[in-house]
């Protein structure tokens, strides 16, 4: 099983993306949010990310991390380095867009795909049309 970790600069954004993805899979995929420095301050918190990763690792064989912007990536990388070396290979950072990627990743995880397969599908989410041709 693959768990998802959503890392964003806003706790509300991370929780919102988590909520949306959870609606798509109705509890079949463990999804964790790590957003903001705290509940009210924008930024990324390495300790919060590390806790989310630990919870995800406890419930899944692999973890896919979806992030919003630059320091979220750096924070996720730092959090991974804080974990035991033997669990690090079970975590994959995603290039996917945050919202669309999280939804696609959740659906793909719910049908038993591997983290590699999920990542490939989630990255392709950036090509999903939002507006009809000529709209």
Q: For the segment 73-89, what is each residue's pLDDT rounded down to a tens digit?
A: 999 999 999 999 999 99
Q: What is the model's pLDDT at position 80?
A: 98
- The answer as to CATH 3.40.50.510 being correct for domain 2-127 is yes
Query: According to the model, what pLDDT value does residue 130 have?
Result: 82
**Coil/strand/helix, residue 114:** coil
Q: Which parts of the chain have pLDDT scores under 50? A: none
Q: Specify the pLDDT at position 51.
A: 98
- 26 φψ region: left (φ > 0), alpha (ψ -120 to 50), beta (else): left
Give residues with Cβ within 8 angstroms of 109, minimum separation 6: 1, 2, 3, 4, 25, 28, 29, 64, 118
Cα–Cα dist 98/65, whole Å: 10
């Amino acid at each position: 099983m693959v768990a998802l970790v959503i890392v964003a600069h806003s706790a509300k954004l991370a929780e919102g993306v988590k909520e949306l993805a959870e609606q798509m899979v109705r509890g079949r995929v463990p999804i964790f949010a790590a957003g903001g420095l705290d509940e009210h301050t924008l930024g990324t918190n390495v300790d919060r990310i590390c806790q989310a990763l630990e919870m995800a690792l406890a419930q899944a064989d692999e973890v896919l991390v979806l992030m919003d912007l630059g320091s979220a990536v750096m924070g996720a990388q730092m959090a991974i380095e804080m974990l035991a070396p033997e669990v690090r290979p079970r975590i994959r950072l995603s290039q996917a867009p945050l919202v669309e990627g999280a939804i696609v990743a959740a659906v793909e995880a719910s049908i038993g795909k591997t983290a590699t397969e999920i990542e490939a599908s989630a990255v392709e989410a950036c090509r999903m049309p939002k507006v009809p041709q000529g709209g």
